[in-house]
Amino acid sequence: MNSKTLPYLLLAPATIFLVVFFLWPFLQIAWLAFSTDGGFTMQHFQTMASNWKFWPTFWNTVILAAVVVPLQLVMALAMAQVVAKLKSTRNTVLYIFTIPLGLSDLAAGIIWLAIFEQSGFLNSMLVGLGIVEKPILFLGYQNLWVIFIAVILAELWRATAIVMVILVSGMGLIPKEYYEAAEVFGAGPWKRFVKVTLPMLRPSIQTALILRTIAAFEVFAVVVALGGTTLPVLVGETFNWQFALNDRNVAAAFALVILAISIAATLVFLRVLRTPKGATL
């Protein structure tokens, strides 16, 4: 087996798989976005973009991702550092940190709604402590920014674990000699983190960012649970056109927009966080 054919052999199963179960159905859907009665048209994109809700929807989605993902990266780095510093309690803490991995967005939406709703836990606590006299309405349509914050908190809670796990398993690969060398040269903890951990962790950070950003553009269940239709997001509108309005063409157009911004974000991460020695993905 020479190294010319080996990569293709290794990629073959995944390629065949994705072509059959993703690319083929995807092309069928993508065609819908551009066709009407068998001919080519841009009409569905026009319908989509001229809808009064399109731009708010678009920006909500992008801004949510732009706020959530960097916060998650910072939090996950902190959690991974904490885990690295622990001794006897390491496994317990690591287990607790990884718990949200197993949570569906459906369940996460329910949990956070129970916290934020008018007769929910947060209000119970505030009233119980005497901070407010009667329950506050957090998730009303006039306080868009409160809904925004609630969604951000819920997403931080639900989906930071995945970033952390990728980073922890990446950190495990950094040879401890590097740290020892850095220490010999008098580097403090912060300097070691910036000069050793971060650069060495670059492939893992890149992976985590790409996966999380793509997932963030598809945020849906949590937003619907907390904000209803007050905070429209792209996937929600895709659903609406596909299943409530029964217009599969416009739904396909929405889906292609999600795909496009995901690819754009991915390309940015690939460029900015280019990994050394040609080991780019």
Partner 1 sequence: MRRTLKTLAIAALAIGLTASTANAQVLFWSNQAVPVEETQKMREQVLKAFPGGVDFQPQEPGPFITRIQAETETGTGAIGVVGGLYGDLANFADSWVDLSDVDLSGVAVSPAFLELGKFGTSEQKFLPWMQANYVMAANKQALQYLPEGADVNNLTYDQVIAWAKNLAEQTGSPKFGFPAGPKGLKHRFFQGFLLPAFTGSEVTKFRSAEAEQAWGKFKELWQYTNPASTNYDFMQEPLLTGDVWLAFDHIARLSEAFNQKPDDFVAFPAPSGPKGRAFMPVLAGIAVPKSAPDVAKSKELIKYMMQPETQVATLLATNFFPTTDAALPADLPASARALGPAVQAMTSSPDALPALLPVGLGDKAGQFNQVYIDAFERIVLANQDVRQVLDQQAETLRQLMVTTGAPCWLPDAPSEGPCPVE
Partner 2 sequence: MSGAVATADKPRAVSDIGSAGKFLFWAGVVLLCAWVLVPIYLLAVNTLSSPQQVTAFPKTGVPSFDMGSIQFFLSFEGVLKALWNSVLVAVLTMILSIAIGAPAGYALSRFEFPGKATFRMLVLMTRAFPLPLLALPIAVMFIRIGLDDTPIGLALVHTTLAIPFAVLITFSIFSGIPLELEEAAWTLGCNRLQAFHKVVLPLVLPGITASAIFAFTISWNEVFAASVLTVQNRTLTAFLLQSLSVSPLHLRFAGGAALVIPALIFIFAVRKYMFAMWGIANR
- Residues in 5-24 that interact with partner 2 by CB under 8 A: 6-8, 10-11, 13-15, 17-19, 21-24
> Of 38, 39, 52, 128, which one interacts with partner 2 (CB under 8 A)?
128
At closest approach, how far in Å is the CB of 229 from partner 1?
5
Q: For partner 1, which is the closer residue by CB, 6 or 245?
A: 245
Residue 28 sits in the site that holds partner 2 (CB under 8 A): yes
Determine the interface stretch with partner 2 among 46-54, 60-68, 139-147, 254-262 (rule: CB under 8 A).
Answer: 254-262
> How many residues at the interface with partner 1, by CB under 8 A?
25
CB count, 10 Å around CB of 149? Answer: 15
DSSP the chain: --TTTHHHHHHHHHHHHHIIIIIHHHHHHHHHHHEETTEE-SHHHHHHHHSTTHHHHHHHHHHHHHHHHHHHHHHHHHHHHHHHH-STTHHHHHHHHHGGGG--HHHHHHHHHHHHSTTSHHHHHHHHTTSSSS----S-TT-HHHHHHHHHHHHHHHHHHHHHHHHHHHHTTS-HHHHHHHHHTT--HHHHIIIIIHHHTHHHHHHHHHHHHHHHHT--HHHHHHHTTSS--HHHHHHIIIIIS--HHHHHHHHHHHHHHHHHHHHHHHHHTPPSTT---
Residue 52 sits in the site that holds partner 1 (CB under 8 A): yes
> Of 246, 276, 277, 278, which one interacts with partner 1 (CB under 8 A)?
246
Residue 246 sits in the site that holds partner 2 (CB under 8 A): no
At closest approach, how far in Å is the CB of 163 from partner 1?
27
Using CB under 8 A, which residues numbered 136 to 175 contact partner 1? Answer: 137, 139-142
141 binds, among partner 1, partner 2, none (CB under 5 to 8 A by kind): partner 1
Using CB under 8 A, which residues numbered 76 to 115 contact partner 2? Answer: 78-79, 82-87, 89-91, 93-107, 109-112, 114-115
Which positions touch partner 1 (CB under 8 A)? 52-53, 117-119, 134, 137, 139-142, 224, 227-230, 236, 239-240, 242-247
